[in-house]
Amino acid sequence: MKRILLIAVLGLLLAPLAAAGDDYLSLKYEVDAGDPVMGVLLSDIDTDGKSEILAGVTSGAGLTGGAYGELHAYDDDLDLAWAYTNIFGPVHCIGAGDTGGLIIAVGSWNKVYAILGSGQLKWGYNTGVMTNTRALAFADINGDGENELLIAVGKDNSEITVLDKSGKKMKSFGVKGFPYSVKVDDIDADGRLDIIVATALRENQFAYPGYIQRFDLDGNRVWEARTERGIKTMEVFDIDGDGKKEIIAGARYDVYLFGSDGNPIWNYSTGWNVEAIKVLKTDGQSLIVAGSNDLYVLDKDGKLKWKGAAGPEVYSMEISDLDGDGNEDIVVGSDRVYIYQYGSEREIWKSQNYNSVKSVVVGDLNKDGYKEVIAGCSNNRIYVFETRTFVKRTDANGKDKKANNLYTSGKNDEALELAKEARALYLELSDNDGVARCDSLIESINVQASIRDKTRVEADEYYENAVSDYIAGNYLNARDFAEKATNRYTPLGDQDRANNATEISEKAKEGALLEAGREYERAESYGVENCTDITISLAKLLYLYDKLGDKESKNKTKGLLTSFGEDFRNNSSAYLERGDFENAILYANCALLVYNVENQTYAQEINETASLVAEIEKAKAVKIPMSEIILTVLKYAAAMAVAALLIYGAVRVKNHIRRPKLDIEKIGADAASGEDAGRDKTSGARRVPVSRELVHETLKDIEKQDFHAKSDRIIKGKKAEAGVTFREK
């Protein structure tokens, strides 16, 4: 047994790692197997709940008759558990199954080895031909509840041999060509297992035709389908979702798809050997992944979905969700280990060059919840890469992104928790940039938390004010406070309080509209003499309707304003025509008051009214007041009357001796009795009624010859009787 070198290497020391992220996978273990590793397998061979690594090692594989093989078992720390070294010929296939107890089957030259989980040989079966056994499978062929082992043996025209748990031959049946793959499955959904065999014409000769052959469990051939060149790999899967499984074959230069009845469906040319076939499930569909000189992803109809470079040639492949994000990743063994993410259509990681990675397998080696990628290489080494860093980084990035999205949408409490979780992961990964990014977000959330606390205090105050003003009937204030409260509760996520504030706002609007309606009725009822009341009502209405956003009612109020303005201006013009300048000015000023309630709307009317005021002032300055004209006329008439009285008095004095003295009492009585009213009996002239007192005073004045004073009294008496008041000079 060769010396095993175990090397533990930290992922951060793996300098040659390249690609999109050098910490997606980190190298956990590296072991020297002593010879080229042709295949690796994971199986819990000691039933301790943890998987062991089984590695098929071959020495002198290119030397005819000189090659030998070994089977190594490594624990989850990659310590060598045991090695079975007595294998004649190269190891080309490994399988682990329960045949009444776990065995590991190893196919080599002319012999198959069944090895127990302890590393002891259980039995060996001699095939009788010096050729490699390249395919085997475990299945319950006879229905006894225990698996049998199916092996493919032969050279040109080979056979499938069925062995029981003790290694005894149960049956065999011939197959056309050299078998490279054997599967046992129910492909037509009839409830019975079928045996599917894929062959090339000869071993290592793929330039010749190959075959897909279907057998029943008794070994009877059901059908066979021919390919242009030999087949090296095969998968059985319901690719179109119809309940029946199709056969996907990887041959030289082509990928083939056959139905469960053997009819060809399509083939796709890669131009090189197809040595690995897998099925990837994504977005509710199944895609075929073919490893050739490049990586090809095909849909169920054989159309290319994506193609990516994968080294000089693909030897092995696995499909697995490495980071637990729900999306399957593609693990490729070529000159390196490559990781691809379908959907991003890019290579996200690759290892350093290992010459050729003959086999890759994925599994949770130590049951810690994180998957490992195990690679067996022709450079004699086995590499174990852990996805812990990959998963943690993916998890950290996901939490970081989600935290920022939640923060943006205002869900700060959830954002804070995720930001703290992301920070812890970044800290564990020694990602200082990630830590700093999370610290910045956490600080922003804390600052906003302080602002939110202040905002809540403001919102509560506005809400309380809204309620108080609504109860007091201050509807506009209540509505304003309620809207401010709503605008603060909403970003806080307090939808209940926001809804309550909105309800108060709506009810306050209803109350304000009722109040405005009553005010409008009052405004309509005012006459032109209520100038101040009209102006106040109109201003109040326009303010109310503007705050309430009621354009219709606001326009209606403007119509009322226009009407009042026109009435005031019309009255002003009428008084101007009559020469009543004081009232003309009064109504013109009322019009200005009304129009200035909406001065921008009524700019023209304001200018016109101002012109009217100027016209009134001008007329007032140049025109002799009518009252003064009337006064002058009256004074002239009074003077004439006084002159007449003087003449009359002179005559009476002259005739005083001849006539009896004037009976003052009689005259006064006549005046009081009204007999002096109407027209004079002698002359027919109209009399002006006078009082007794006026007569006495007149006579006294005549006697005193105070004519001027008497004339003034007469004028005043006439004015009093006429009910006219004039401004005195």
What is the Cα–Cα distance from 176 to 211, expressed in whole angstroms? 7
Answer yes or no: pTM beyond 0.85.
Answer: no
Orientation angle between helical segments 551-578 and 495-525, nearest 10 degrees:
20
Domain closes at, from 618, 645, 672:
645
Q: Are residues 394 and 512 in the same domain?
A: yes
Q: Give the type of residue at 112.
A: V
CATH number, domain with residue 514? 1.25.40
| 412: its two tokens | 């700060």
696 CB neighbour count, 10 Å cutoff: 14
564 and 532 in a single domain? The answer is yes
Per residue in 673-724, pLDDT (tens digit) is 444 444 444 444 434 444 445 444 544 544 444 444 444 454 445 444 444 3
**Please, what is the end-to-end C-alpha distance for the chain in angstroms?**
146
Contact 108, 89 (CB under 8 A): yes
d(CA 174, CA 435): 65
Cα distances from 711 to residues 143, 649, 706, 714, in angstroms, run: 154, 15, 9, 5
Residue ranges of alpha helices (H) inside 409-550 are 412-428, 432-472, 475-492, 495-525, 531-548
3-state class (DSSP) for residue 432: helix
- Residues 392/425, Cβ–Cβ less than 8 Å: yes
* pLDDT tens profile 254-305: 999 999 999 999 999 999 999 999 999 988 899 999 999 999 999 999 999 9
- What phi, psi does 112 have (nearest 5°)? -120, 135
Number of domains the chain is built from: 3
**Whole-number Å distance between alpha carbons of 382 and 376:** 5
Go through 633-646 and write b for each residue having 16 or more CB atoms within 10 A of its CB, e for each that does not: ebeeebeebbeebe
Residue 360 lies in a domain: no
Whether residues 483 and 580 share a domain: the answer is no
User: Reduced to 3 states, what is the DSSP secondary structure of residue 506?
Assistant: helix
pLDDT of residue 203: 77
Claim to verify: residue 454 and residue 561 sit in the same structural domain = no
User: Would you say residue 451 lies in a domain?
Assistant: yes
**What is the dihedral sign for C-alpha 117, 121, 125, 126?**
positive
The two beta strands, 194-200 and 52-59, are: unpaired
Whole-number pLDDT of residue 694: 44
| Chain centroid, CA 243 distance in Å | 39
Residue of 154, 1, 204 whose CA lies nearest to 85 = 1
Segments forming the whole domain that contains residue 325: 270-355
Q: Are residues 555 and 631 in the same domain?
A: yes
Same structural domain, 455 and 569: no
Residue that is last in its domain, among 335, 355, 375:
355
As a whole number of angstroms, the distance between CA 235 and CA 196 comes to 10
| CA angle, 454 then 459 then 461, to 5° | 100
Report the distance separating Cα 345 and Cα 21, nearest Å.
15
**Final residue before a domain boundary, out of 525, 542, 558:** 525
Element holding 308 (H helix, E strand): strand 304-309
For residue 597, with 0-12 CB atoms within 10 Å meaning exposed, 13-18 middle and 19 or more buried, which class applies?
Answer: buried
Cα-based distances in Å from 19 to 25, 377, 433, 439? 11, 20, 20, 29
600 contact partners, CB below 8 Å, separation of at least 6: none
**Domain-embedded: residue 585:** yes
pLDDT for res 523: 86
Give 142's contacts (C-beta < 8 A, 6+ positions apart).
Answer: 148, 170, 217
How far apart are alpha carbons 642 and 639 in whole angstroms? 5
The 3 state secondary structure assigned to 326-382 is: CCCEEEEECCCEEEEECCCCEEEEECCCCCCEEEEEEECCCCCCCCEEEEEECCCEE
HEC assignment per residue over 238-284: CCCCCCCCEEEEEEEEEEEEECCCCCEEEEEEEEEECCEEEEEEECC
For the purposes of burial, counting CB atoms within 10 Å of the CB of 23, is it exposed (0-12), middle (13-18) or buried (19 or more)? Answer: middle
Tokens of 55: 């590695």
Together in a domain, 288 and 351: yes
Tell me whether strands 37-43 and 52-59 are parallel, antiparallel or unpaired: antiparallel
Given the structure tokens 């809204």, which residue do they identify?
466
Whole-number Å distance between alpha carbons of 232 and 212: 11
The answer to whether residues 477 and 548 belong to one domain is no
Instruction: For residue 118, tell me if it sits in a domain.
Output: no
8-state DSSP, 19: S
| pLDDT for residue 49 | 86
Instruction: Decide if 329 is inside a domain.
Output: yes
Alpha-carbon distances of 546 from 113, 509, 513, 553, rounded to whole Å: 96, 12, 11, 9
| Residue tagged 């009213």 (tokens) | 677
Positions in the chain short of pLDDT 70: 1-23, 60-66, 100, 156-157, 623-729
Sole residue written with tokens 């107890």: 101
Q: Tell whether 403 and 517 lie within a shared domain.
A: yes
Sign, CA dihedral 29-10-379-376, equals positive
Same domain, 310 and 439: no
Task: For CA atoms 49, 357, 312, 231, give the dihedral sign.
Answer: negative
574 and 628 belong to one structural domain: yes
What b/e readout covers 266-276, taking b as 16+ CB neighbours within 10 angstroms? Answer: ebbebebbbbb
Asked, for residue 295, whether it belongs to a domain, the answer is yes
- Structural domain includes residue 381: no
- For residues 529 and 218, give the distance between their C-alpha atoms in angstroms, rounded to a whole number: 119
User: Mapping DSSP to helix (H, G, I), strand (E, B) and coil, where does residue 618 land?
Assistant: helix
Q: What pLDDT was estimated at residue 688?
A: 41
Q: What's the CATH number where 326 sits?
A: 2.40.10
Do 325 and 446 fall into the same domain? no
Quick check: is 428 in a domain? Answer: yes
